[in-house]
Structure 1
């Protein structure tokens, strides 16, 4: 059984370095593991999660009780909560990852040189991936599964709120690894919830190849500032939905309500609604739907004039990821002003346009500089599982290495294999 510990000083440093050495050794074995063995481990992990569902739920109940006593918001509690359906989704997600093609060993390109050299670019694992995330315990399984499929070892650091849940899940994952004959150290978690361990982790350049943070803006900024290891950023999700003058009114109602209220605490939830001025004639039912669903609206003067229940939006609202049943609403003059607003305030995560005009949609899709852009659908589809990736570690909002949903394929690098027949360079 994995134990929760509280340590500091040299003892913690020694334990972290031991963890790093074990991860590095495991990654070398995973890089050579055949698909069959990796997939066997993934399916064994899924079976163990199902078998230990009661233990996972009991651990989650401890986390939920502690979080409630701390006064966490309803949206954050929803992110933390596990139930039978979500546990089954974790298990199914691991099985879905097993069904994906093996991303390792793929030929990414091959060509012959005039001197007879044959050159091939081949996909390889990144190595050891450190993943730092906050309250969602299902990330433990998703991250481990994707790292395993792509031949990488994983070092996980979940939030203190989900510590007991993460331990219970990790036990199942490591049982699955052992059942398939793969190193238990292929998936590890930090030995403590002490923040000092994160500081040590960010300097373990000898053992960790990439850091992937998944959480709030404060977490991401700290890691980006302190890490000596390359960081694949998952920034906050300040996502926008723009309702164009030529949108179908009923489609707009359904999409906006879903984009905001399906799950308010996920990074793909819409946080700002932009409405084309001519679309105000059919905007009132959209606002009614949101308020009826329990959403607090903060709008500009025109939106307030349309509905007296709307609070006044402040300058900070356009730059806020609420992760709650709160939505900022603004009137714009056409798609050009919508694009301008999004480029100024977006975190470059996910943006959507609702319109029946393909030319307007094309301009929006082409000019918006975000990881995901959507036409006539909900921003809540910003999810690796919905993209057919099996699962995701996060949505990368940067531009280097990977962008958008980060699945197994995005957790690879490549090397060049050169085959000769005795050539020497003149």
Structure 2
């Protein structure tokens, strides 16, 4: 039996034990995990530096290196996320509905853990802890399979949290890392139905589609973020520019960053140069349609691929539009149903945008950077779902549960 199957079997056994643990026991484990992370900060940063050094040597782009990198501040944020998950209401056992049938049967619908979750993700060490904390709080065992580019970081992080779990009643095998990062092991994981209850892929489009197309294990699909900002003609200039700069430059390498800015032509006539200047000051490169090029020669011509690309770097596509309807039409063609925002003071246009945009999160006068489990009050997230079944948007604790019916009778039989 190979590493994958051994650890998957251990996860299944651990899930049965974990499902019986009290909220207090789970919260104590999460708190100890946070303490252990900060206690071993030096070790974690040293191991992470090995991955970063290899990535730089291999010529990995800056956006991916940023996702890969851990710092003292980021570790502090991760530890804070663990504490926040511990403070959240435990969904397990929540009663969703109760009814008594005419025959006297009492039927109650309650939340229960999914069981064993397989997590497949790319160069994001923070996902190792986010996934572990949420799965544990929701009563699930988790089998983590990160990318080879983060193997030192992920191995260290799981070792640290397992050392914390050794001090608790939670099985250490409730959180495990598959250290074999080969494609063959990932492919085998796709079909491990006897052990895994669900797979969650988190990463680029190719990874997600590979899991969706090839897995026989049920998949909770997360999505890439080709996000848009529409600046309506009524938008307040300072607000629009501030939000555009934040949504593009605050952290360009993440999925809730905007990749295209759509600008109403009337607003552009008065304020487009100011928008370009503010973005240029942050080092943003521009591509755009012919109308935007007529405003500034620095804007290179955008091709069809640019409108559909998740740049994940300091680059943005710009387009001048005639109306909110044209902006919505563009987003319907190129958006990935992740996060879209309108900056506007026009009540009719605002409502039209909010009603017609098909996305997991739709914003008015706010940056798309808030599409995040921590920002939504979930403590952390296991991913952002752009599908419509089971869960949508940032997936927190409730998304990691299922339901079952508890039916109690007094001897009823069906005639």
| Separation (CA, whole Å) in 1 of partners of 2:351 and 2:141 | 41
Show the 5 A alignment for 1:131-142.
131-142=119-130
User: In the alignment, is residue 175 of structure 1 matched against residue 176 of structure 2?
Assistant: no
Show the 5 A alignment for 1:149-188.
149-188=137-176
1:23-63 Cα offsets, whole Å, 9 max, x none, are 00001111111001100110010011001000000001111
Show the 5 A alignment for 1:195-344.
195-280=183-268, 281-344=270-333
Partner-residue secondary structure (3-state), 2:192: coil
Partner-residue secondary structure (3-state), 1:351: strand
Partner-residue secondary structure (3-state), 2:405: strand
Show the 5 A alignment for 1:275-424.
275-280=263-268, 281-424=270-413
- Give the gaps of 5 or more residues in structure 1: 1-12
Contact 2:151 2:179 in 1 (8 A): no
User: In the alignment, is residue 107 of structure 1 matched against residue 95 of structure 2?
Assistant: yes
* Alpha-carbon shift at residue 105 of structure 1 (Å): 0.3
111-120 or 49-58: which moved more?
Answer: 111-120
Query: CA RMSD for the aligned pairs?
Result: 0.9
Contact 1:43 1:176 in 2 (8 A): no
* Alpha-carbon shift at residue 366 of structure 1 (Å): 1.2
1:134-178 Cα offsets, whole Å, 9 max, x none, are 111111011000000000000001111111011111111112222
- Give the gaps of 5 or more residues in structure 2: none
| Separation (CA, whole Å) in 2 of partners of 1:181 and 1:112 | 37
| Separation (CA, whole Å) in 1 of partners of 2:183 and 2:177 | 13
* Alpha-carbon shift at residue 332 of structure 1 (Å): 1.4
Partner-residue secondary structure (3-state), 2:297: coil
Normalized against structure 2, the TM-score is what? 0.98
Normalized against structure 1, the TM-score is what? 0.96
Match of 2:51 among 53, 63, 69: 63
**Number of the residue aligned with 1:3:** none
| Separation (CA, whole Å) in 2 of partners of 1:74 and 1:187 | 30
| Separation (CA, whole Å) in 2 of partners of 1:422 and 1:218 | 54
**Number of the residue aligned with 2:23:** 35
* Alpha-carbon shift at residue 381 of structure 1 (Å): 0.6
User: In the alignment, is residue 49 of structure 1 matched against residue 64 of structure 2?
Assistant: no
**Number of the residue aligned with 1:6:** none
* Alpha-carbon shift at residue 363 of structure 1 (Å): 1.4
Contact 2:261 2:316 in 1 (8 A): yes
| Separation (CA, whole Å) in 1 of partners of 2:295 and 2:137 | 52
**Number of the residue aligned with 1:9:** none
| Separation (CA, whole Å) in 1 of partners of 2:84 and 2:325 | 40
Contact 2:328 2:356 in 1 (8 A): yes
| Separation (CA, whole Å) in 2 of partners of 1:162 and 1:363 | 43
Contact 1:130 1:210 in 2 (8 A): yes
**Number of the residue aligned with 1:193:** 181
| Separation (CA, whole Å) in 2 of partners of 1:177 and 1:398 | 34
